[in-house]
Amino acid sequence: MDAQQLKGHLDLLLLATLDSGPRYGGQIITDVQSATGGYFALREGTLYPALHRLEKQGFIAGDFQVLPRGGSPVKVYTLTASGTEELKVQRDRYEQFSGAVRGIIGGGV
C-alpha cells in the first residue's frame, strides 16, 4: 500500500467502518485490514490522531468501556447522527473523485 494513496480518504473509511457498529481502536485496525483483503494496514500513529479529529468534529463519540471478556477499559467509538450525515457527504465526494479518475484512466481521454 502507498501511504499517500490513503490521504484524504481515511476519514471516509473510518466513518464507514463505524457505520456497521461501535468499535475500539484495535478492532478498527483488524476490521479494516480484513475488509480490504489486507490492503489497508493502518498504524496506530495513523488511526488515533484520525479518531481524535473525527471526535473533535463531533462525527464520532468515544467512551471508555470494560468489555465482557474483562481486561483494561477500551475506548469504544460510536458514529453520531452528524457522523452519519458526514458519511453520506464523504461517500458522495468519493463517488465524484472515483468518477473523475475513471474519466481519465478509463476513457483514455
Establish if 47 lies at the interface with a copy of itself (CB under 8 A): no
> From a copy of itself, DNA, none, which one binds at residue 89 (CB under 5 to 8 Å depending on kind)?
none
For residue 63, report the phi and psi dihedrals to the nearest 5 degrees: -150, 125
**What whole-number distance in Å separates Cα of residue 88 and Cα of residue 6?**
19
Return the number of the residue (4 or 106) whose C-beta is nearest DNA: 4
Side chain identity at 107, as an amino acid letter?
Answer: G
Residue 8 region, left (φ>0) first, then alpha (ψ -120 to 50), else beta? Answer: left
User: Contact with DNA (CB under 7 A): which of 18, 42, 79, 87?
Assistant: 42
The residue ranges that bind DNA (CB under 7 A) are 1, 3-4, 6-11, 24-26, 42-46, 48-53, 62, 70-76
